Amino acid sequence: MLLIAGITTQQKQLDYNQGMLCPLCCNFGRYEVYMETMVATLFFLPLFRWNKKFYVITTCCHSVYAISKELGTAIAKGEPVRLEEKDLHLVHRSREASCNLSAGELHCPQCGAQVQEDFKFCPQCAQPLR
C-alpha cells in the first residue's frame, strides 16, 4: 500500500486594502495582508493546520511586517481594521526602502527610524549606527 503524506507551508493573501505613506521608503503604497499556516496532508488533502501567522507586505518597497494574531484573525473574518505603525513589527526591510526626506535627517539603516547625529545605537531597534 502506498501512503502519500506531507507537511507544507501554505500562504494565502487576505482581502485587505489600506493606503499608506511608507515610513521606510517615503512612497505611497498599500498594505497587503497574508496568512501563513503549516498544513499536514494525506493524499494531497489537508488534514489539519497549525502555526498560523499573519504578515503585511508593502506594495511600494516590499518590506515585510508581522502583525498580531488578533489583528490578523479580525482581518481574515472581514472585520473593519485599520493598521497603525505601532501594530507593525518589521521582519524584513527591503533593499528598495531608503527614505531621505531631507539632507539633515538621519535614519537607521535597519528599521528606518529617525535618529539624531550623536546617537551610536538606534532607539527603535538597538542596532549600531556606525
Report pLDDT for 97: 61
> pLDDT of the chain along its 130 residues, tens only?
788 999 999 999 999 988 888 888 878 889 999 999 999 999 889 999 999 999 999 998 889 999 999 999 999 999 999 999 899 999 988 766 665 545 456 777 667 677 787 888 888 888 787 6
Q: Dihedral sign, CA of 127, 56, 68, 49?
A: negative
pLDDT for residue 104: 54
Domain boundaries, the chain: 5-99, 102-130
Q: What is the pLDDT of residue 119?
A: 83
pTM of model > 0.85: no
Half-sphere exposure of 54 (CA within 13 A, CB side): 19
